[in-house]
Structure 1
């Protein structure tokens, strides 16, 4: 019995020793094994497809829509009139004025709007000569009143056309006698041939304003009825719509007059096109700060509702590939030992280096042309690496 017990204890000791040895062996690792287990997993490549597309560089900024060409209208005093003058009627803000319309009245007399580059600076009448007479006759002819030969002489044809203009609007023209003209005529007019008006129908200087173009839109009324017409009376704009914007100084050199512009604002459902009409020659003008340059876009066609007064996105294309070309993300291109550009294309379980020539870059992509090897739309190229999944769960 004692002998059997001894044998059992010996066998148990052997088993325990064996198990202990096995556990210890499993727990012991060589330095190489420890280093291998501590090393990070191999990085996994990030692959993206080669895309065939049109690339275009562009400047994107914002601007505010408004009516164009704002200007203030005022009148020149007439030598034919004496006594106090007051504004007796004004147009409605937002109304449109065509060439030949009466924009306001002063002491009950009309003020006509006509197109012309030269401002009204003197009373005009029979016998007078000058480019301002030609300008008047051109305007009268445009609005349907025949002044006869369009020249620099105020003659009977000019008088007849002028009378017809006044009649259309229900006013009597000013008719002066020689005595009245002599009393009102400035002394210098006696010294210049063609500056002395004769008796007949006159156009007083304060009954016409010349503007570069029509129609006009009334945007503000700096004067009020009953006031003396001594300053700006009406603020007008053209009926054209423009968008005023600003760009950083470093981008200003990219913008050229005549450049096409996409105008949009998705939240308002606005989409339009235009062209750059003005680019300031330095920063800090038209309300810009010292780090921005002003530019203006003329809206083409009928502007969509909501443009006036709205903040709008302006996209100005600068250069374009024109046609679709192979493109890859900028991060896919690296420099080879020879200094040339290259990409890595996935081929089976490996990667092939493809030398390329790069072109236009925009929006994070660059055009590429393979110089050696194959590269096609849809091929996968390496743009970077991310840590791989750790082995062994």
Structure 2
């Protein structure tokens, strides 16, 4: 079968259209359109090449262009070593300060109590008169023949005290009795012979008779003494380790002296029967003295008139607790400035009248360890204060003169088993290379605003130190 002539022209003569322009129209009409076969083939090639080119450009761009995430991932592995310069720095001394609460002069009355042996609480002597001032350690009246003293302690007694007791109440009494010159032992919170002696001295300093132990305890002393007397009046016992022969020929070895055991028992009985301190005998006051506003007349039965005694603490006081560091800036007798925390325009001067011994903290009551203090503010200076105002106290004697010393940032200080030191370099660019570091031992001094005094170290003003992170 012979191939048609028009087909041959399409396949082998791409320009056949121009060569047939002069032919018979009838022949031309027999030829099919040439572009419907050739053009789709060309566009397919162009599309494939364009797609490949776009893919290549996209891959190249993704390889060369770095996103912020890529940069962040690389930075996470970079160790940055910062440096600083040792320089002369001005250190301004910290102003000694603490916080506390305003206590306006308040009325103090007799606490609830019960007399020993069930005695009726009748006023038998009115020692302090209304309108007078009475100091801590002095009696204000006598009840059923028992003197009642005022003592500057932080809280009222909550129990009768006797030899063998211990606690914060005993410790508070020891501190005040020591201040008054009656107690000379350790402030340990234990009611021992020294504390009993101090109680006796408290009573005797006012011409009063000290309290005595209960009849049972005194009887125990008598019984122990009689037993010891009876033992020593009999035939002496051979020394420990010696032996005696009984009538039947048996040897008995003596391992203990009966007198020694009886002597020990007598000493224990005497300690238990030493001078006690009944709860009703002490009225707690917040300062070293109080004003007597009203006292009950002799013959008053206090169970029927419990509000018949009125004492008022003098002036306005500030009470609080200083931390160990805060207390270093204060001394009893210092003049201090008291400022209301919510209104700094309200302030006045007062005197630190009492600074206690160190006291342990009470975590259950959210009370930190430290030193209890009392600041007394004269009445003329305290007119703008309100009861229970939160205040700040600052020591008026504190100097504000700055001292200049060679210092480095706190971040430059390092420590290991060989001591405290800094690392120096000759140029900041050397900070990243541990081989270029030089160790300099230092003794840190005062610190302030992130700087540390290193006076005395083998450093000079301008030396470059490596901050934390170096090896």
TM-score (norm 1): 0.41
Structure with the larger strand share:
1
TM-score, normalised to structure 2, is 0.36
- Higher helix fraction (1 or 2): 2
